[in-house]
């Protein structure tokens, strides 16, 4: 069963604390993504990773960093979280770089992060 | 840069009504166009795509036709059901990127009243 998992599903942190969001996929997909979703803004791309230790900034990378040490695992890190980083974060993965199939992304269930 | 515009933030219909959700895009050439659906408490999931002018994509009774002339990819369904209540995202594949980058619209929440 093809799946993208995210942990934790819900997280409450205080401003200034560090945050680690984790994502895993069991499909051997090369490309993985982190998005945030806010009302009225849709899905905004934070980072893309096209393989281990090969990451590229998306549209809103400021305040975030990522880590990919294994193909099946992709982490999003917030160093010193801010209240405006309260959001729902989605991880996704896709296969077949360079073809139209690479746009067919499989999403995880999301992590709802609240920064107080 | 490339972008997608969904004009309706929310659409409320009764069961068996006809659905149209408007999607217009701005990009050069012939970008691939997509519809994704997000049910409550879940992540978005791929619905279907179209890659060239006049191509029709379809899935689960939903359909959309790629129209280069009007730069549109409107989502339609002949008869909606309560189970279709969800958020629908139109998306455009970035042709300048080999990494499968998608540009999403803001989303349209569909509420179907039984």
Whether A2 has a pLDDT exceeding 80, the answer reads: no
Among A residues 20-59, those touching chain B with beta carbons less than 8 Å apart: 31, 40-45, 48, 50, 56, 58
How far A13 CA lies from chain B's nearest CA (Å)?
21
Whether B97 has a pLDDT exceeding 80, the answer reads: no
Cα separations (Å) of B37 from A112, B62, B97?
Answer: 19, 11, 23
Mean pLDDT taken over chain A: 93
Name the closest residue on chain A to residue B101, using Cα atoms. Answer: A103
**Residue pointed to by tokens 């939903």:** B62
> How confident is the model over A54-81, as a mean pLDDT?
95
Which of A41, A42, A102 has the CB atom closest to B100's CB atom?
A102
pLDDT at A103: 81
pLDDT at B113: 96
* Lowest-pLDDT choice from A6-15, A96-105, B63-72: A96-105
A68 contact partners, CB below 8 Å, separation of at least 6: A32, A49, A51, A52, A53, A54, A55, A74, A75
- Sheet order of strands, A19-25 included: A4-7, A19-25, A73-78, A65-70
* Phi, psi angle pair for A84, to nearest 5°: -80, 5
- Under the banding of pLDDT at 50, 70 and 90, the label for residue A89 is very high
DSSP B13: E
Answer for the pair B29, B7: CB distance below 8 angstroms, yes or no.
no
CA distance B46 to B108: 15
pLDDT at B60: 95
Contact A103 B89 (CB under 8 A): no
pLDDT digits 0-9 by tens, B40-76: 999 999 999 999 999 999 999 999 999 999 999 999 9
Nearest CA among B29, B2, B10 for reference residue A45: B2
Chain B touched by A4 (CB under 8 Å): yes
Chain A touched by B34 (CB under 8 Å): yes
Answer for the pair B90, B4: CB distance below 8 angstroms, yes or no.
yes
Query: Which chain A positions have a beta carbon within 8 Å of B105's beta carbon?
Result: 42
Dihedral sign for Cα A112, A115, B5, B8, please: positive
Contact A103 B49 (CB under 8 A): yes
With a pLDDT cut of 70, the percent of chain A lying above it is 96
Whether A98 has a pLDDT exceeding 70, the answer reads: no
pLDDT at A106: 93
Token pair of B98, please? 């080999």
């Amino acid at each position: 069963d093809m799946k993208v998992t995210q942990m934790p599903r819900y997280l409450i942190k205080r401003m200034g604390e560090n945050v680690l969001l984790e994502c895993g996929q069991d499909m051997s997909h090369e490309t993985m993504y982190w998005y945030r979703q806010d009302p009225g803004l849709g899905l905004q791309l934070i980072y893309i990773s096209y393989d281990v230790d090969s990451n590229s900034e998306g549209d809103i990378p400021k305040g975030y960093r990522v880590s990919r040490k294994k193909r099946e695992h992709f982490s999003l890190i917030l160093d010193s979280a801010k209240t405006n980083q309260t959001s729902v974060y989605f991880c996704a993965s896709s296969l077949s770089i360079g073809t139209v199939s690479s746009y067919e992304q499989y999403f995880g269930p999301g992590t709802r992060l609240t920064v107080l | 840069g490339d972008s997608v515009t969904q004009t309706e933030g929310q659409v409320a219909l009764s069961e068996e009504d006809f659905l149209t959700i408007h999607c217009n895009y701005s990009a050069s050439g012939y970008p691939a166009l997509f519809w994704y659906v997000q049910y409550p408490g879940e992540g978005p999931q791929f619905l279907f795509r179209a890659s060239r002018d006049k191509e029709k994509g379809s899935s689960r009774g939903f359909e959309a036709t790629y129209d280069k002339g009007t730069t549109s990819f409107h989502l339609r369904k002949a008869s909606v059901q309560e189970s279709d209540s969800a958020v629908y995202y139109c998306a455009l594949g970035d042709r300048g990127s080999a990494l499968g980058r998608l540009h999403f619209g803001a989303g349209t929440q569909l509420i179907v009243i039984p």
